[in-house]
Amino acid sequence: MADVIDYEILGDDMQLVEVALDHGEAVRAEAGAMMYMEDGIDMQTNTGGGVFKGFKRMVTGASFFITNFTYQGSGQGKVAFAAPYPGKIIPIDLRSFDGQFICQKDAFLCAAQGVEIEVAFTKRLGAGLFGGEGFILQRLEGDGLVFVHAGGTLVQKRLMPGQRLRVDTGCIVGFSKGVTYDIQFVGGFKNAMFGGEGLFVATLAGPGEVYLQSLPLSRMADRIVQASRVTLQHHQVGERTGVAGLGASILGGIISGDR
């Protein structure tokens, strides 16, 4: 049985979740996610169940270690965890998802003690090779609260049996265990070469809940890299222009007899 915890999500675009713990209750989080904690909270960092557990988390893109925050004082103690980039924090009650939720790597933020973070292999090789999230996803299991993070705006879809939804591969946050996940080639030479959406799209089929994000971390990182390259190019052009201008000035001075 997972600990029953109280929480409050603060902020709008750069959110954090503040978890209130009673004596003996605990919450576990990825290393480095903690923002602040009150007196009486004991922090213990470990592999969360042995070296093999740590290696499994590393495969999913998470850290080797996981940190447990346990409140040892009287009354309630609070600890807060911040989202890593602009977006929304989503509370997931695993009891409403038959004890299991699948999410992309790096989406997990924190969870009540008693929730297990496992490796979830996609059923088809194509989904792993071209899915954009790697061959391995995270499976969150238990009967407690889990908090995951979505970049940008959050969109929630409920798929009926047999209903399908085609999604940009990086825009998937997570889905319930009844949803199947596969990758399909977009088709068409012009679509593949000039569509700007990549060669593959994810196909999600119901029944179940699907959570999507409008700003995946990979997309935001690509924009930052592109902007950095443009800034660097402008800087280099400016330097060359400045050097050429200086040379022309000196040459002009020599010709005119000023130098």
pLDDT tens digits, one per residue of 75-133: 999 999 998 888 999 999 999 999 999 998 778 899 999 998 887 765 554 555 555 54
SS3 track for 64-125? CCEEEEEECCCCEEEEEEECCCCEEEEEEEHHHHCCEEEECCCCEEEEECCCEEEEEECCCH
pTM for the model stands at 0.76
At residue 146, φ and ψ (nearest 5 deg) are -130, 145
Q: Which of 79, 49, 82, 85 has the alpha carbon at shortest distance from 64?
A: 49
d(CA 178, CA 50): 30
3-state secondary structure of 224: helix
pLDDT tens digits, one per residue of 16-46: 999 999 999 999 998 788 999 999 999 998 8
d(CA 56, CA 65): 11
3-state secondary structure of 23: coil
d(CA 1, CA 153): 32
